[in-house]
Amino acid sequence: MTLIETLASVRPGTALSDAMEKRAEILRLSEAAHDAVLLPRDPGGLSHGLRAALAARMARQNGNAALAGHYDTLVAGANEPATASLADPKNNVSGPRLAEIVRHADRLTLAPRDATRAHVEALRGVGVNDADIVRLAELAAFVNYQVRVIAGLKLLGDMR
Amino acid sequence: MSEIVHTFTTTVPRWQPYVVPVEFATATEEQHAAMQTTPSNKGISTYVLTLAHDPETLAVRSPLFNLIMYGKDGLASSERELGAVAASVVNRCVYCAAVHASRFTAQTKRTDVIDAIFADGLDATLDEHLQAIFDFSARLSPTPPEATAADAQALADVGLNELEALDLVLSSAIFGWANRLMHTLGEPVKE
Protein backbone atom coordinates (compact mmCIF):
# COMPACT_ATOMS: atom_id res chain seq x y z
CA MET A 1 0.00 0.00 0.00
CA THR A 2 1.32 3.47 -0.84
CA LEU A 3 1.87 6.13 1.83
CA ILE A 4 -1.08 8.19 0.62
CA GLU A 5 -3.38 5.15 0.85
CA THR A 6 -2.10 4.30 4.33
CA LEU A 7 -2.61 7.82 5.66
CA ALA A 8 -5.97 8.42 3.95
CA SER A 9 -7.22 5.07 5.40
CA VAL A 10 -10.15 4.80 3.00
CA ARG A 11 -12.49 1.92 3.97
CA PRO A 12 -12.10 -1.09 1.68
CA GLY A 13 -15.10 -2.14 -0.35
CA THR A 14 -16.45 1.40 -0.71
CA ALA A 15 -17.06 3.25 -3.96
CA LEU A 16 -14.14 5.52 -3.08
CA SER A 17 -11.73 2.61 -2.65
CA ASP A 18 -12.92 1.25 -6.02
CA ALA A 19 -12.20 4.68 -7.54
CA MET A 20 -8.72 4.62 -6.01
CA GLU A 21 -8.15 1.23 -7.60
CA LYS A 22 -8.88 2.84 -10.98
CA ARG A 23 -6.24 5.45 -10.16
CA ALA A 24 -3.65 2.93 -8.95
CA GLU A 25 -1.02 4.15 -11.43
CA ILE A 26 -1.40 7.71 -10.12
CA LEU A 27 -0.93 6.48 -6.56
CA ARG A 28 2.10 4.42 -7.63
CA LEU A 29 3.68 7.43 -9.35
CA SER A 30 2.94 9.57 -6.29
CA GLU A 31 4.92 7.08 -4.21
CA ALA A 32 7.76 7.16 -6.76
CA ALA A 33 7.73 10.96 -6.54
CA HIS A 34 8.07 10.69 -2.76
CA ASP A 35 11.22 8.62 -3.21
CA ALA A 36 12.59 10.99 -5.87
CA VAL A 37 12.26 14.10 -3.67
CA LEU A 38 13.02 12.57 -0.27
CA LEU A 39 15.61 9.91 -1.10
CA PRO A 40 17.17 10.87 -4.46
CA ARG A 41 20.25 9.01 -5.68
CA ASP A 42 21.78 12.45 -6.32
CA PRO A 43 20.67 14.75 -3.48
CA GLY A 44 22.83 17.66 -4.72
CA GLY A 45 23.29 20.23 -1.96
CA LEU A 46 20.16 19.14 -0.07
CA SER A 47 20.97 16.11 2.08
CA HIS A 48 18.42 13.38 2.75
CA GLY A 49 18.30 14.51 6.38
CA LEU A 50 17.54 18.13 5.45
CA ARG A 51 14.87 17.03 2.97
CA ALA A 52 13.18 14.82 5.59
CA ALA A 53 13.27 17.57 8.23
CA LEU A 54 11.81 20.14 5.83
CA ALA A 55 9.11 17.68 4.74
CA ALA A 56 8.15 17.05 8.38
CA ARG A 57 8.06 20.82 8.92
CA MET A 58 5.84 21.33 5.86
CA ALA A 59 3.46 18.57 6.98
CA ARG A 60 3.16 20.29 10.39
CA GLN A 61 2.55 23.68 8.76
CA ASN A 62 -0.29 21.96 6.89
CA GLY A 63 -1.71 20.51 10.10
CA ASN A 64 -1.05 16.89 9.07
CA ALA A 65 0.49 15.26 12.17
CA ALA A 66 0.39 11.72 10.76
CA LEU A 67 2.34 12.73 7.67
CA ALA A 68 4.78 14.67 9.86
CA GLY A 69 5.23 11.47 11.86
CA HIS A 70 6.21 9.61 8.70
CA TYR A 71 8.84 12.21 7.89
CA ASP A 72 10.09 12.20 11.49
CA THR A 73 10.94 8.54 10.92
CA LEU A 74 13.04 9.52 7.89
CA VAL A 75 14.67 12.29 9.96
CA ALA A 76 15.64 9.76 12.62
CA GLY A 77 16.95 7.36 9.98
CA ALA A 78 19.14 10.05 8.41
CA ASN A 79 20.81 10.74 11.79
CA GLU A 80 21.85 14.29 10.90
CA PRO A 81 21.87 16.41 14.08
CA ALA A 82 22.51 19.69 12.25
CA THR A 83 19.13 19.63 10.48
CA ALA A 84 16.87 17.36 12.57
CA SER A 85 15.45 20.20 14.71
CA LEU A 86 14.05 21.88 11.58
CA ALA A 87 11.22 19.34 11.63
CA ASP A 88 9.60 21.69 14.17
CA PRO A 89 8.38 24.87 12.41
CA LYS A 90 9.33 26.93 15.47
CA ASN A 91 13.02 26.24 14.90
CA ASN A 92 15.52 27.75 12.50
CA VAL A 93 19.30 27.57 12.36
CA SER A 94 21.99 30.24 12.47
CA GLY A 95 24.10 29.43 9.40
CA PRO A 96 23.18 31.83 6.57
CA ARG A 97 22.86 29.23 3.79
CA LEU A 98 20.65 26.84 5.71
CA ALA A 99 18.63 29.65 7.30
CA GLU A 100 17.82 31.06 3.85
CA ILE A 101 16.82 27.61 2.59
CA VAL A 102 14.45 27.23 5.55
CA ARG A 103 12.95 30.69 5.00
CA HIS A 104 12.31 29.83 1.37
CA ALA A 105 10.86 26.40 2.23
CA ASP A 106 8.45 28.11 4.65
CA ARG A 107 7.41 30.60 1.97
CA LEU A 108 6.90 27.84 -0.61
CA THR A 109 4.59 26.06 1.80
CA LEU A 110 2.73 28.90 3.52
CA ALA A 111 2.56 31.65 0.90
CA PRO A 112 3.88 30.60 -2.52
CA ARG A 113 1.90 33.49 -4.00
CA ASP A 114 4.37 35.91 -2.38
CA ALA A 115 7.43 34.39 -4.08
CA THR A 116 9.49 36.75 -6.26
CA ARG A 117 12.75 36.87 -8.18
CA ALA A 118 14.36 38.52 -5.13
CA HIS A 119 13.90 35.33 -3.12
CA VAL A 120 15.74 33.27 -5.74
CA GLU A 121 18.49 35.93 -5.77
CA ALA A 122 18.72 35.72 -1.96
CA LEU A 123 19.27 31.97 -2.21
CA ARG A 124 21.96 32.47 -4.83
CA GLY A 125 23.51 35.13 -2.61
CA VAL A 126 24.18 32.62 0.15
CA GLY A 127 25.62 30.05 -2.26
CA VAL A 128 22.61 27.91 -3.17
CA ASN A 129 23.03 26.90 -6.81
CA ASP A 130 20.27 26.81 -9.42
CA ALA A 131 19.92 23.03 -9.36
CA ASP A 132 19.37 23.11 -5.59
CA ILE A 133 16.84 25.95 -5.97
CA VAL A 134 14.86 23.68 -8.32
CA ARG A 135 15.27 20.68 -5.99
CA LEU A 136 13.95 22.73 -3.05
CA ALA A 137 10.92 23.88 -5.06
CA GLU A 138 10.17 20.28 -6.08
CA LEU A 139 10.40 19.11 -2.46
CA ALA A 140 7.96 21.74 -1.21
CA ALA A 141 5.70 21.28 -4.22
CA PHE A 142 5.54 17.52 -3.75
CA VAL A 143 4.81 17.59 -0.01
CA ASN A 144 2.08 20.17 -0.54
CA TYR A 145 0.58 17.97 -3.29
CA GLN A 146 0.67 14.94 -1.00
CA VAL A 147 -0.97 16.88 1.87
CA ARG A 148 -3.86 17.88 -0.43
CA VAL A 149 -4.42 14.41 -1.84
CA ILE A 150 -4.62 13.00 1.70
CA ALA A 151 -6.88 15.85 2.92
CA GLY A 152 -9.21 15.46 -0.06
CA LEU A 153 -9.42 11.67 0.27
CA LYS A 154 -10.24 11.98 3.97
CA LEU A 155 -13.08 14.40 3.23
CA LEU A 156 -14.50 12.10 0.56
CA GLY A 157 -14.02 9.00 2.72
CA ASP A 158 -15.71 10.50 5.77
CA MET A 159 -18.71 11.57 3.75
CA ARG A 160 -19.66 8.34 2.05
CA MET B 1 11.63 44.66 -23.79
CA SER B 2 9.62 42.14 -21.81
CA GLU B 3 6.87 43.24 -19.50
CA ILE B 4 5.97 41.12 -16.46
CA VAL B 5 2.31 40.10 -16.33
CA HIS B 6 0.84 40.60 -12.84
CA THR B 7 -2.89 40.25 -13.49
CA PHE B 8 -4.92 37.21 -14.51
CA THR B 9 -5.41 36.89 -18.25
CA THR B 10 -6.43 34.29 -20.82
CA THR B 11 -3.71 35.51 -23.17
CA VAL B 12 -1.03 32.94 -22.43
CA PRO B 13 2.22 34.77 -21.62
CA ARG B 14 5.76 33.47 -22.06
CA TRP B 15 7.32 31.89 -18.97
CA GLN B 16 10.74 33.23 -18.10
CA PRO B 17 12.80 31.43 -15.43
CA TYR B 18 14.70 33.14 -12.61
CA VAL B 19 17.32 30.38 -12.75
CA VAL B 20 19.40 29.29 -15.72
CA PRO B 21 17.75 26.27 -17.42
CA VAL B 22 19.70 23.17 -18.39
CA GLU B 23 21.06 23.38 -21.94
CA PHE B 24 19.64 20.55 -24.00
CA ALA B 25 22.84 20.01 -25.98
CA THR B 26 24.99 19.54 -22.88
CA ALA B 27 22.41 17.76 -20.69
CA THR B 28 23.28 14.40 -19.15
CA GLU B 29 21.79 11.13 -20.34
CA GLU B 30 19.55 11.07 -17.24
CA GLN B 31 18.32 14.60 -17.97
CA HIS B 32 17.54 13.72 -21.58
CA ALA B 33 15.63 10.63 -20.43
CA ALA B 34 13.62 12.72 -17.94
CA MET B 35 12.64 15.15 -20.73
CA GLN B 36 11.18 12.39 -22.95
CA THR B 37 7.71 12.83 -21.47
CA THR B 38 6.68 16.46 -21.11
CA PRO B 39 3.75 18.04 -19.22
CA SER B 40 0.74 18.29 -21.55
CA ASN B 41 2.97 16.63 -24.20
CA LYS B 42 3.94 20.11 -25.34
CA GLY B 43 7.55 19.61 -26.31
CA ILE B 44 10.70 20.60 -24.49
CA SER B 45 9.99 24.07 -23.15
CA THR B 46 12.12 26.40 -21.05
CA TYR B 47 10.06 25.15 -18.11
CA VAL B 48 11.01 21.51 -18.74
CA LEU B 49 14.67 22.50 -19.21
CA THR B 50 14.50 24.30 -15.84
CA LEU B 51 13.01 21.26 -14.10
CA ALA B 52 15.70 19.09 -15.71
CA HIS B 53 17.99 20.35 -12.94
CA ASP B 54 16.23 17.63 -10.88
CA PRO B 55 15.86 14.79 -13.40
CA GLU B 56 14.85 12.13 -10.86
CA THR B 57 11.77 14.13 -9.90
CA LEU B 58 10.98 15.34 -13.43
CA ALA B 59 10.99 11.77 -14.79
CA VAL B 60 8.14 10.88 -12.41
CA ARG B 61 6.31 14.18 -12.32
CA SER B 62 5.55 14.55 -16.04
CA PRO B 63 3.73 11.20 -16.44
CA LEU B 64 1.94 11.78 -13.10
CA PHE B 65 0.76 15.23 -14.22
CA ASN B 66 -0.45 13.89 -17.57
CA LEU B 67 -2.36 10.99 -16.04
CA ILE B 68 -4.10 13.29 -13.55
CA MET B 69 -5.02 15.98 -16.07
CA TYR B 70 -5.64 13.96 -19.23
CA GLY B 71 -6.90 10.55 -18.02
CA LYS B 72 -9.73 9.30 -20.24
CA ASP B 73 -12.59 8.38 -17.89
CA GLY B 74 -13.85 10.07 -14.74
CA LEU B 75 -14.18 13.82 -14.29
CA ALA B 76 -14.71 15.90 -17.43
CA SER B 77 -11.45 17.39 -18.67
CA SER B 78 -12.86 20.94 -18.45
CA GLU B 79 -13.73 20.39 -14.79
CA ARG B 80 -10.18 19.24 -14.03
CA GLU B 81 -9.04 22.45 -15.72
CA LEU B 82 -11.39 24.42 -13.45
CA GLY B 83 -9.79 22.75 -10.42
CA ALA B 84 -6.40 23.80 -11.79
CA VAL B 85 -7.61 27.38 -12.25
CA ALA B 86 -8.95 27.54 -8.67
CA ALA B 87 -5.62 26.42 -7.20
CA SER B 88 -3.76 28.83 -9.47
CA VAL B 89 -5.93 31.73 -8.29
CA VAL B 90 -5.23 30.89 -4.63
CA ASN B 91 -1.50 30.63 -5.31
CA ARG B 92 -1.58 33.54 -7.76
CA CYS B 93 0.19 31.65 -10.53
CA VAL B 94 -0.76 33.94 -13.40
CA TYR B 95 0.90 31.72 -16.00
CA CYS B 96 -0.82 28.51 -14.82
CA ALA B 97 -4.17 30.29 -14.60
CA ALA B 98 -3.80 31.60 -18.17
CA VAL B 99 -3.00 28.19 -19.65
CA HIS B 100 -5.72 26.28 -17.84
CA ALA B 101 -8.40 28.96 -18.12
CA SER B 102 -7.75 28.92 -21.87
CA ARG B 103 -8.22 25.16 -21.96
CA PHE B 104 -11.43 25.43 -19.94
CA THR B 105 -12.90 27.97 -22.36
CA ALA B 106 -11.66 26.08 -25.44
CA GLN B 107 -13.58 23.03 -24.25
CA THR B 108 -16.71 24.67 -22.86
CA LYS B 109 -16.96 28.01 -24.74
CA ARG B 110 -17.89 29.44 -21.30
CA THR B 111 -15.86 32.64 -21.30
CA ASP B 112 -18.32 34.02 -18.74
CA VAL B 113 -17.04 31.57 -16.12
CA ILE B 114 -13.43 32.64 -16.48
CA ASP B 115 -14.45 36.32 -16.69
CA ALA B 116 -16.21 35.95 -13.32
CA ILE B 117 -13.25 34.16 -11.73
CA PHE B 118 -10.67 36.65 -12.98
CA ALA B 119 -12.85 39.59 -11.92
CA ASP B 120 -13.92 38.35 -8.47
CA GLY B 121 -11.30 35.73 -7.59
CA LEU B 122 -12.39 33.42 -4.79
CA ASP B 123 -15.69 35.31 -4.42
CA ALA B 124 -16.74 34.50 -7.99
CA THR B 125 -20.39 33.48 -8.37
CA LEU B 126 -20.84 30.57 -10.79
CA ASP B 127 -23.69 28.21 -11.60
CA GLU B 128 -24.26 25.57 -8.92
CA HIS B 129 -22.30 22.73 -10.52
CA LEU B 130 -19.19 24.74 -11.34
CA GLN B 131 -19.42 26.62 -8.02
CA ALA B 132 -19.15 23.36 -6.07
CA ILE B 133 -16.09 22.34 -8.08
CA PHE B 134 -14.40 25.75 -7.91
CA ASP B 135 -15.02 26.21 -4.18
CA PHE B 136 -13.81 22.72 -3.25
CA SER B 137 -10.56 23.18 -5.16
CA ALA B 138 -10.00 26.70 -3.88
CA ARG B 139 -10.51 25.61 -0.26
CA LEU B 140 -8.20 22.61 -0.65
CA SER B 141 -5.42 24.93 -1.83
CA PRO B 142 -4.37 27.14 1.12
CA THR B 143 -1.93 26.02 3.85
CA PRO B 144 -3.37 24.37 5.85
CA PRO B 145 -6.18 23.21 3.57
CA GLU B 146 -9.57 24.69 4.48
CA ALA B 147 -11.98 22.40 2.61
CA THR B 148 -14.72 20.97 4.83
CA ALA B 149 -17.19 18.10 4.84
CA ALA B 150 -19.78 20.55 3.49
CA ASP B 151 -17.53 21.35 0.51
CA ALA B 152 -17.19 17.62 -0.21
CA GLN B 153 -20.94 17.09 0.21
CA ALA B 154 -21.58 19.88 -2.28
CA LEU B 155 -19.72 17.84 -4.92
CA ALA B 156 -22.04 14.88 -4.35
CA ASP B 157 -25.07 17.18 -4.32
CA VAL B 158 -24.27 18.45 -7.82
CA GLY B 159 -23.86 14.88 -9.06
CA LEU B 160 -20.15 14.07 -8.91
CA ASN B 161 -19.57 10.37 -8.21
CA GLU B 162 -16.61 9.05 -6.20
CA LEU B 163 -14.29 8.70 -9.19
CA GLU B 164 -15.09 12.22 -10.40
CA ALA B 165 -14.59 13.67 -6.91
CA LEU B 166 -11.27 11.82 -6.62
CA ASP B 167 -10.17 13.24 -9.98
CA LEU B 168 -10.99 16.72 -8.70
CA VAL B 169 -8.91 16.16 -5.55
CA LEU B 170 -6.00 15.02 -7.73
CA SER B 171 -6.24 17.84 -10.27
CA SER B 172 -6.45 20.47 -7.51
CA ALA B 173 -3.56 18.90 -5.62
CA ILE B 174 -1.28 18.59 -8.66
CA PHE B 175 -1.66 22.35 -9.08
CA GLY B 176 -0.55 22.80 -5.49
CA TRP B 177 2.59 21.25 -7.00
CA ALA B 178 2.66 22.99 -10.41
CA ASN B 179 1.99 26.46 -8.95
CA ARG B 180 4.89 26.05 -6.53
CA LEU B 181 7.22 25.49 -9.49
CA MET B 182 5.90 27.88 -12.12
CA HIS B 183 5.24 30.81 -9.81
CA THR B 184 8.38 30.52 -7.68
CA LEU B 185 11.00 29.61 -10.29
CA GLY B 186 10.02 32.18 -12.91
CA GLU B 187 7.52 34.75 -14.08
CA PRO B 188 5.10 35.36 -16.95
CA VAL B 189 6.10 38.01 -19.48
CA LYS B 190 4.63 39.48 -22.62
CA GLU B 191 6.97 40.75 -25.33
Domains of chain A: 3-159 (1.20.1290.10)
Between A and B, how many residue pairs show a Cβ–Cβ distance under 8 A? 173
pLDDT of residue A159: 86
Tell which phi-psi region holds residue B41, choosing left (phi > 0), alpha (psi between -120 and 50) or beta: left
Element (H, E) at B189: strand B186-190
- Compute the average pLDDT of residues B171-184: 98
**Side chain identity at A98, as an amino acid letter?**
L
pLDDT of residue B37: 85
Q: What are the Cα distances from residue B106, in Å, to A128, B53, B102, B103, B130?
A: 41, 33, 6, 5, 16
Q: Is residue A160 pLDDT above 70, yes or no?
A: no
- Compute the average pLDDT of residues B86-90: 98
Chain A positions in Cβ-Cβ contact with residue B95 (cut-off 8 Å):
none
Q: Do B54 and A135 touch (CB under 8 A)?
A: yes
List all residues 6 or more positions away from B101 whose beta carbon is below 8 Å from its beta carbon: B8, B10, B81, B85, B114, B117, B118
pLDDT, tens digit, for every residue of B114-161? 999 999 999 999 999 999 999 999 999 999 999 999 999 999 999 999
pLDDT of residue B1: 60
Q: Do A130 and B174 touch (CB under 8 A)?
A: no
Q: Does B145 lie at the interface with A, CB-CB under 8 angstroms?
A: yes
**Percent residues over pLDDT 90 in chain B:** 93
Q: Do A113 and B172 touch (CB under 8 A)?
A: no
A18 falls in which pLDDT band (50, 70, 90)? very high
Nearest Cβ partner for B169 among A130, A140, A153: A153
- Compute the average pLDDT of residues A83-102: 96
- Compute the average pLDDT of residues A65-88: 97
Could you tell me the residue ranges of all domains in chain B? 3-70, 77-176
pLDDT of residue B43: 79
B2 falls in which pLDDT band (50, 70, 90)? confident
Q: Does B83 lie at the interface with A, CB-CB under 8 angstroms?
A: no
- Compute the average pLDDT of residues B28-35: 96
B53 falls in which pLDDT band (50, 70, 90)? very high
Among the residue ranges A58-67, B31-40, B167-176, the one predicted with the least confidence is B31-40
Q: Do B180 and A149 touch (CB under 8 A)?
A: no
pLDDT of residue A138: 98
- Compute the average pLDDT of residues A88-113: 96
Report the CATH superfamily, name and number, of domain B77-176: AhpD-like (1.20.1290.10)
Angle of CA points B96, B61, B184, to nearest 5°: 40
Alpha-carbon gap: B158 to the closest alpha carbon of chain A (Å): 14
CA distance A83 to A52: 9
CA distance A33 to A22: 19
Give which of A41, A40, A37, A43 is closest to A55, Cα–Cα.
A37
Q: Do A36 and B60 touch (CB under 8 A)?
A: yes
Chain A positions in Cβ-Cβ contact with residue B18 (cut-off 8 Å):
117, 120-121
Q: Do A117 and B180 touch (CB under 8 A)?
A: no
pLDDT, tens digit, for every residue of A125-147? 999 999 999 999 999 999 999 99
Q: Do B143 and A110 touch (CB under 8 A)?
A: yes
Alpha-carbon gap: A127 to the closest alpha carbon of chain B (Å): 13
pLDDT of residue B40: 76
pTM: 0.97
In a mutational test of the A interface, the residue from B135, B140, B143 whose CB has the highest number of chain A CBs within 10 Å is B143
- What is the number of other CB atoms lying within 10 angstroms of the CB of residue B92? 18
pLDDT, tens digit, for every residue of B3-12? 999 999 999 9
Q: Does B50 lie at the interface with A, CB-CB under 8 angstroms?
A: yes
Alpha-carbon gap: A148 to the closest alpha carbon of chain B (Å): 5
**Side chain identity at A124, as an amino acid letter?**
R
Q: Is the ipTM of this complex over 0.85?
A: yes
Nearest Cβ partner for A112 among B148, B169, B183: B183
**Contact predicate B178/A32, CB 8 Å:** no
Q: Do B54 and A151 touch (CB under 8 A)?
A: no
